[in-house]
Structure 1
């Protein structure tokens, strides 16, 4: 009976067709098997892979105790820990260890089109706006920001001046904002002394001390948020020309009402005649102000006649009152008959709901405007004081009775426009209906200015007092001719992100920074990862390089993306890319190097080395046009990057997201142009497990199989600086300097050494002592070597892709490096190749 159990290792969770076969022994535990067969395995709180026995999940806590049984099928599956890793991670769990590699291209542009809802990068939509259900913009470095609305803009009259309140979100995280870098449109706020006031709140700070934090809903039935003429409040005309002109009076009898129209005739005196009730059949009316109060109420017109209109009585909810036997007879010149929501002379306007369905409030504001002022001219042309009174009533949704708010009164003697905001506090939270009427009689005398408009009905909804994790801005603006309407949606600022600084391999106190390293780490940690998931050693090595070069990342992320796409953009401005190496997200910079990491030659190839060269096509782009964001205009500009011989007629268009320097945009574009021109040779080869020593973008020495280039083989012995090789009769070329490179047991390259011939025909003398001790006892492979003249002893390549396909083979893709790629990395941009992109570009 077999004592082995089958273990399948799936390196890619998304592709179950790809797996590696391994075997365990009955009686083993998974923990023991891993420790014996995977030297780099270590116990983690969150393992890099999951285990299943006979398709049933085996929790990590059971790995040390579950014993393999006869017939068990064990599966190990790589489990990516974030959305980026699941798309990019490739793992090989083999007898010699675990390796994770990825190959990614630097993005040519940050979006194929302008991001939906972008408030920064589309010049046609720059402005403050609400982002309902949208992401909170994330700022990096120093950049222009149009803050988003947290509450809708609110206007209020204070002492006959209109003020605008804004509550805005600067972005996720903390920012430094200088007073001279806060603007309305293009004008600094400091130019509006006494008209604009703002306060910045850091993440988690209490904002309730600023009036602008209130979340106020403005009813669309009364007026819009930008203000409007509103609803005119008309008063009943009672007199004109110094005597009564005309009015209605009513007689109530049985179930009929008779309307009498009275008109003043100076020669004859008063006279009256009957007239039709001025409403349509079936219309619901309200009687108000009758002497016999039992006649007040709601009625429906069922017949109409000049001798009397028959009615039926209704309750407040407009159901028929079957107990009604008729009016108490009376003739009344003060009674009113009107449709309640008619808004006619002296009638209520409304009711209107103050909040949407499902919402409640206990605070109302009503705005009123007197566009012609308020007053009365006497015969000498002097303004006399005049007053106007308003009645406001409200009730809860579904309630029968109206509640009268405190009386509102206007008094003045001016023809300057007046405005007033009246707050009304309710005793409890309700969904209120509100109606307003003018109780002061109107007058058609042209010397009287007392027109009143109801311009807004506002109610406070639930208001946040703390915004966790974001910087906010509360603004109060006085409405003046200088500000006009631009203040509402053109408030912008330049902010610098505040993040922990990276110094000497550790994080220090937060401070404003435009550096690449802090934001790179912040993105990873904001996704829930700890420092242990970041390649801090590599970051420590690259951080001073970026700082010395002045490489910065200045951008605003205001559209959806993945963590891995974001960090690719962040690193791209520093000529770097992210890789995943042993569970850590590590930055790797494409830079000029002289020290080789590993060497590969025919002795550790499987099969032949394949070389492919991309030739220049006739329609190939002849330049790079880089679009970047100008820190002066805060609009997109372009710069053309060309090599000698390029006409720039058909350039490749690239967006340098995160670059706000013309010189840096030029360096970015020239690096791409030189890469396209000079990196055109690709090598593909296979090894056994040797290539798992290398990592993405490693600088390696690769032997060629073309005659006349390097020679390679095995070192069979050494004595001090004398190396003895298995190749008898090395080809020494007269007048040339020669190189010998030796492969260490870990695959790294020792040397290269300057070489000279020894006395024996297989002896090579090197110019320095070896930095390792070769072993020739057969316990490990003997060292390999590469030999040739100084100019072509190897192909200097960058590792671009490593794909383990089994326990026996690894496929490698490498790219021939060329020193000319790096020649413009520090060059300043020429003076005449920049263009501002017009608005229609987007």
Structure 2
């Protein structure tokens, strides 16, 4: 047996910010501090000896025995108003500990305003299909877009809507964020434009895959790999790199649309001028497209083709932002083409200019041969400018594509570029910190990216529970649980965290300004024991959520299949259930059939076996558990075991404050004890003692119960088999003045074995 000295550096995170030291020989408090090299604490610190505050003047007198616990707690700073105000601050923070799903706020967000409706949302009832209950990890609910309620209709998702699939310029919409492995139809990052080279038309398209870095597994045009299209050149541009395949900041003058050019001798005149670049922009290159739709030729009497010549001229002058000319006309180029072909001729001419804003005009300088035998028509096909600036696309991955127009590549298919990508994210380690971005489908590191990134929560690492994420990541990887999703519509950071965590059977919540995560998984050791000794009298309430005609008997899980990249569904039920009334749930981020089935079985089991809600009040020890923790509740009112205090310890015999009731028909009886830190010791097998107030332990305890008068005596819970208490999972912790109210849902281990 060793004594313990606890150093709590952060009272808001006692489980993390602490050091524990063993004391193996009697020593005073002051002597121990001297041996540890602590003359005085840097911040106000109090000392608790077995739970009782001890003044500094007593530290040299009190000896730490082998069964004693000494705790040094650094006090919260600021706030003023004395300890009462500090206590209220602590309790205020505790509100955030246990309310990750604020029922009223969520109900309002999805349009539910009635009292009954808000209560249902708080209890975790899904509105899609039949009623589905899961208090601890609420079923997915319809997305609440930030665009809703502001007069804007969110644009359809190009990923999850078949009607919207394709490459498009989604103006004023968010840049997509992809996690895991997924197919994407990348948005247009710049206005596409065409140029002519060697009488071939080339379409230039710049696509944005999304924020961050990606591993591109495959690029396709509709369903065909891009390798089947020899007429396409492409370049993958990593974040921060420049596009080298073509100019990206190119603007096109829409007014130029195939006007015919005629000479003044034919009654023609200058065509234009047309403004080439918008106000408040400058260009350094002007490009003009010329088209001879009938070719250039003269058909001679022998059936052959003779040469014909066409000449033309382009001029440009600078203008200001108001369109007023600030310079004289200057010749861009005087061009000539001589040919004997009836094949349409198309060509682009590039002209370097002094940086500025320009307008351009064109004139044919030779007479048009109007003979029916001649192909001598000249048209102005297009006008473009390369802006004089270096575009900053931000921290995104781009694909630049140069496509030659052929029969193999239609106009429609050129807008059906899609990619199979896997996101690269940094991975955190306790020793080495963050790694370089690496390919991952991890739920944990997607959550971290949402919380840390500039497009997400922008939180410092100190405000994210990275240690817990690391542990959860190992669990998710071993189960084969992944998050493969595309956020291409505006959502709040908190909704993104909730939807991502839900794919891993987890929830995110705030505690002391830190984003934390908890997964619903089987737990065997309660973190705290509550009995009539520390439950406020008449505060225990039990609510039974009875099944009704609307209660679901199965779950239909919609997911986005990685096999077809379309919505698929699986209907699952418990072994002894039918599938007559399934609840329909869309599991965002799930692409694995096996994962969808596991989650469906879990939701069906939670819907059946978690229908007892428990609420009670206690004192400040109610701050020990947090959201999702397993607690033990012993109370005689619902026959959840019997409670008492330990009044004496004689070797392996415990004397109790209350007589106990034994039942031979129920088999072995057990006792559990509450330690000084609120945790549970046991259950321990016991036999009846000489009196009804005594029990005989069959094993040695792992601590010494306290039976004195200076603090609360050790509490016990007693019962037959597993009936010494009921186990519950905490769903809320709410301060009530100087008391704390705990809400929980009765646990059932079947919830965690139903998906096996």
In the superposition, the TM-score normalised over structure 2's length comes to: 0.79
Offset at residue 504 of structure 1 (A)? 6.5
8 Å CA contact retained: 2:96, 2:510: no
Matches within 5 A, 1:510-521: 510-521=437-448
8 Å CA contact retained: 1:686, 1:812: yes
Deviation string 1:94-135 (CA, Å, 9 cap, x unpaired) is: 9xx998443335451452689535221111112222243432
| Number of the residue aligned with 2:292 | 370
In the superposition, the TM-score normalised over structure 1's length comes to: 0.71
Deviation string 1:120-173 (CA, Å, 9 cap, x unpaired) is: 111111222224343221111111122222211111101111111122221111
Structure (1/2) with the larger helix percentage = 2
Matches within 5 A, 1:197-346: 197-207=233-243, 209-211=244-246, 213-223=247-257, 230-235=258-263, 345-346=267-268
8 Å CA contact retained: 1:346, 1:441: no
Distance 1:107 1:52, change over 3 A: farther
Partner Cα separation in structure 2 for residue 750 and residue 707 of structure 1: 23
Partner Cα separation in structure 2 for residue 442 and residue 824 of structure 1: 84
- 1:666 equivalent to 2:574? Answer no
8 Å CA contact retained: 2:97, 2:510: yes
Matches within 5 A, 1:98-113: 100-104=97-101, 106=138, 108-109=140-141, 111=143
Offset at residue 42 of structure 1 (A)? 6.2
| Number of the residue aligned with 1:797 | 728
- 1:721 equivalent to 2:652? Answer yes
Deviation string 1:464-521 (CA, Å, 9 cap, x unpaired) is: 3554322122221111111111354222211111112345675434310001122222
Root-mean-square deviation (CA), in Å? 3.0
8 Å CA contact retained: 1:598, 1:747: yes
Residue number among 435, 442, 445 corresponding to 1:508 in the alignment? 435
| Number of the residue aligned with 2:702 | 771
Computing the radius of gyration from Cα coordinates, the structure with the larger value is 1
8 Å CA contact retained: 2:666, 2:721: no
8 Å CA contact retained: 2:97, 2:627: no
| Number of the residue aligned with 1:604 | 534
Deviation string 1:278-313 (CA, Å, 9 cap, x unpaired) is: xxxxxxxxxxxxxxxxxxxxxxxxxxxxxxxxxxxx
- 1:579 equivalent to 2:611? Answer no
8 Å CA contact retained: 1:205, 1:467: no
Matches within 5 A, 1:443-522: 443-502=369-428, 506-522=433-449
Partner Cα separation in structure 2 for residue 487 and residue 40 of structure 1: 67
Partner Cα separation in structure 1 for residue 253 and residue 553 of structure 2: 59
SS of corresponding position for 2:604: helix
Partner Cα separation in structure 2 for residue 222 and residue 374 of structure 1: 22
8 Å CA contact retained: 2:510, 2:516: yes
SS of corresponding position for 1:747: coil
SS of corresponding position for 2:704: coil
Offset at residue 204 of structure 1 (A)? 1.4
| Number of the residue aligned with 2:225 | 188
SS of corresponding position for 2:426: strand
Distance 1:537 1:373, change over 3 A: same
Task: List gaps (5 residues or longer) in structure 1.
Answer: 1-10, 12-30, 54-67, 79-89, 224-229, 239-344, 827-842
| Number of the residue aligned with 1:353 | 275
SS of corresponding position for 1:92: helix
Residue number among 606, 615, 620 corresponding to 1:684 in the alignment? 615
SS of corresponding position for 1:407: strand
8 Å CA contact retained: 2:428, 2:466: no
8 Å CA contact retained: 2:448, 2:464: yes
Distance 1:684 1:716, change over 3 A: same
Distance 1:196 1:142, change over 3 A: same
SS of corresponding position for 2:676: coil
Distance 1:446 1:746, change over 3 A: same
Task: List gaps (5 residues or longer) in structure 2.
Answer: 1-11, 13-41, 48-52, 54-70, 102-136, 146-152
Partner Cα separation in structure 2 for residue 197 and residue 40 of structure 1: 66
Partner Cα separation in structure 2 for residue 796 and residue 771 of structure 1: 21
Deviation string 1:739-772 (CA, Å, 9 cap, x unpaired) is: 1111111111101112222334322223332222
8 Å CA contact retained: 1:98, 1:582: no
Offset at residue 587 of structure 1 (A)? 1.4
Distance 1:428 1:728, change over 3 A: closer
Residue number among 109, 113, 136 corresponding to 2:175 in the alignment? 136
Q: How many residues align?
A: 642
SS of corresponding position for 1:165: strand
Residue number among 440, 454, 462 corresponding to 2:366 in the alignment? 440
Partner Cα separation in structure 1 for residue 717 and residue 389 of structure 2: 73
Partner Cα separation in structure 2 for residue 99 and residue 713 of structure 1: 32
Distance 1:448 1:600, change over 3 A: same
Distance 1:591 1:707, change over 3 A: closer
Deviation string 1:392-424 (CA, Å, 9 cap, x unpaired) is: 122223337422221122232222222101112
Deviation string 1:20-49 (CA, Å, 9 cap, x unpaired) is: xxxxxxxxxxx9889799975567xxx8xx
Partner Cα separation in structure 1 for residue 723 and residue 179 of structure 2: 45
Deviation string 1:323-381 (CA, Å, 9 cap, x unpaired) is: xxxxxxxxxxxxxxxxxxxxxx4322211111223333231111122222221211121
Partner Cα separation in structure 2 for residue 99 and residue 357 of structure 1: 51
SS of corresponding position for 1:776: coil
8 Å CA contact retained: 1:392, 1:436: yes
Distance 1:753 1:507, change over 3 A: farther
8 Å CA contact retained: 2:249, 2:391: no
